[in-house]
Structure 1
């Protein structure tokens, strides 16, 4: 019965990915990173108290570094094998969190920008749709190795998305208006930058609208869902059948 012995030492099992969550009240619909039903694998969510969307997007996330390190270490103690976050502006913390935590860390969808650029034909580059273009700085891009001149368009002039997520932190959101804001930002990005060959959605609340953005622009669209599913694929490689008799 030696092969029936189980060993413990952790509080949680079967959850490879931990997500460091901002403290917010707005609705998290399917596709949103903070809705656990979004993911095809189990996730462990951990709210970082005091790290509000307004403080992270419109302020300096580095002021909250200690809170994120503490919460990340707690997730590791619980048993996760990798950590991500639910705000693309936390790109600013990528080097520090990767250095401070003992598991792989992927803070931001923006990490995909150089990867996407590598896939595109000559003369084409990735562009970014973000919740707030005015707040996304070259420092955010530099922290994840993205070119400083990457084109960016934001939703801050829209009617719903930016208002609900950043300014009001409202518990009610008009999904149709939110989608319209994201799609219009993408259209503006492409119209102003004809060399755009693909779009990266910065905000982790944008995946519900990725298909609409792709339909409106005719371009590939990458978001936190595409990045995290890639990330976890390395943590939990698929086990293929060894029944070769079917070949």
Structure 2
């Protein structure tokens, strides 16, 4: 066997562009390396705070994200993702800037999830900030028009802890915020057939949401597990 080179780092196919944040990242959160069953490479985009990205449309940050994505490719990753669903705004620009596949946002799953649901059922989105999730965010991720949106805004813990970048997180209250928001989304939409979690920090609560609603729940973790399976297919023979 002849081993081939060309990369600085091997065995980590997925590169994750991280916001510059300090809030707790519990297991299940995209930014907790224990979440993944395969190695990943992280790159922090400095000054890309949760507030700036989610509430202020990542204004002025595109070049920094492109530079970080290119660095990850140079380091050896085979695909790029990000740890904020609102970065769907940069999907086209990042994909044009690098030579590997790019999956910026969990929102990109909505169209696919709709295709697997029974007739008359549709996916809905649960977001950390419905007030700033614009039509452009959704269009860039190819979320169909009319997709129902639920949110944890107005909850006691989750949205404020993440977007205000707090150093503590009441996990039980954050779980409650997510479950209540999901149940409200379901109550308002009788044809809801599945929930797609926009926010990458919602993933730890996906089992709780599924149990409470009885619906399939898709997240950035489900998306990137699928993404990774294409970048590095398991070998059986």
* TM-score normalised by length of structure 2: 0.97
Structure 2, unaligned runs of 5 or more: none
Aligned counterpart, 1:166: 163
Structure number with greater Rg is 1
| 1:145 Cα offset (Å) | 1.0
Aligned counterpart, 1:180: 176
Aligned mates of 2:59, 2:87 — CA distance in 1: 8
Cα 1:62/1:93, change in 2 over 3 Å: farther
| 1:187 Cα offset (Å) | 0.6
Aligned counterpart, 1:109: 106
Does residue 51 in structure 1 map to residue 48 in structure 2?
yes
Aligned counterpart, 1:35: 32
Aligned mates of 1:38, 1:90 — CA distance in 2: 21
* TM-score normalised by length of structure 1: 0.94
Aligned mates of 2:130, 2:11 — CA distance in 1: 38
2:221 maps to which of 195, 219, 225? 225
Matches within 5 A, 1:4-15: 5-15=2-12
| 1:62 Cα offset (Å) | 5.3
78-87 vs 142-151, greater mean Cα deviation: 142-151
1:206 is paired with a residue whose SS is: helix
| 1:10 Cα offset (Å) | 2.5
Matches within 5 A, 1:1-247: 3=1, 5-61=2-58, 63-167=60-164, 169-241=165-237
Structure 1 runs of 4+ off > 4 angstroms? none
| 1:148 Cα offset (Å) | 2.2
